[in-house]
């Protein structure tokens, strides 16, 4: 299976900040990379699919980029509701999918 390395594991930021989370794949996954937001006690919610396509209903302050092995999720101006844990998921491998280890975004 394809290992996904996500960083940082945690991040403190303030409302209005710009933040970037990265995910690195152990091999080329083209653009089969999704980003999810999860709040405590809730199911994950997809933000970005295909590395850069914004899911319907997700605010435009969320952007995804990258291809091959290196990907980023950027939140342009943090809002109070954005404090959550974020995960990447690769869906390239026919063998199976792999999540990153998560990034917990906390209020500074």
Partner 1 sequence: QITLKESGPTLVRPTETLTLTCTFSGFSLSGRGVAVGWIRQPPGKALEWLTHVYWDDDKRYNPSLKSRLTIIKDTSKNQVVLTMTDVDPVDTATYYCAHLDGTRWYYYDYWGPGILVTVSS
CB 61 within 8 A of CB 22: no
Binding partner 1 (rule: CB under 8 A), the pick from 8, 77, 101, 106 is 101
**Residue 55 is a binding residue for partner 1 (CB under 8 A):** yes
**CA atoms of 107 and 83, how far apart (whole Å):** 7
Is residue 91 at the binding interface for partner 1, with CB under 8 A as the rule?
A: yes
The reply to whether 98 sits near partner 1 by the rule CB under 8 A is yes
Q: What is the DSSP letter of 54?
A: E
Binding of residue 43 to partner 1 (CB under 8 A): yes
Q: In the complex, what is the shortest distance from the CB of residue 65 to partner 1, in angstroms, rounded to a whole number?
A: 15
The answer to whether 45 contacts partner 1 (rule: CB under 8 A) is yes
Cβ-contact 33, 66 below 8 angstroms = yes
- Looking at 38, 65, 69, 72, which residue binds partner 1 (CB under 8 A)? 38
27 binds partner 1 (CB under 8 A): no
Applying CB under 8 A, the residues found at the interface with partner 1 are: 1, 31-32, 34, 36, 38, 42-46, 49-50, 53, 55, 87, 89, 91, 94-102
């Amino acid at each position: 299976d394809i290992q996904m390395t996500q960083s940082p594991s945690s991040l403190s930021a303030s409302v209005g900040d710009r933040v970037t989370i990265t995910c690195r794949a152990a091999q080329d996954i083209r653009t089969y990379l999704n980003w999810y937001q999860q709040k405590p006690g809730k199911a994950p919610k997809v933000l970005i699919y295909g590395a850069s396509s914004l899911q319907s209903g997700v605010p435009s302050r969320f952007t995804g980029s990258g291809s091959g092995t290196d990907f980023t999720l950027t939140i342009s101006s943090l809002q109070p509701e954005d404090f959550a844990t974020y995960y990447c998921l690769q869906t390239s491998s026919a063998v199976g999918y792999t999540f990153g280890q998560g990034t917990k975004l906390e209020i500074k």
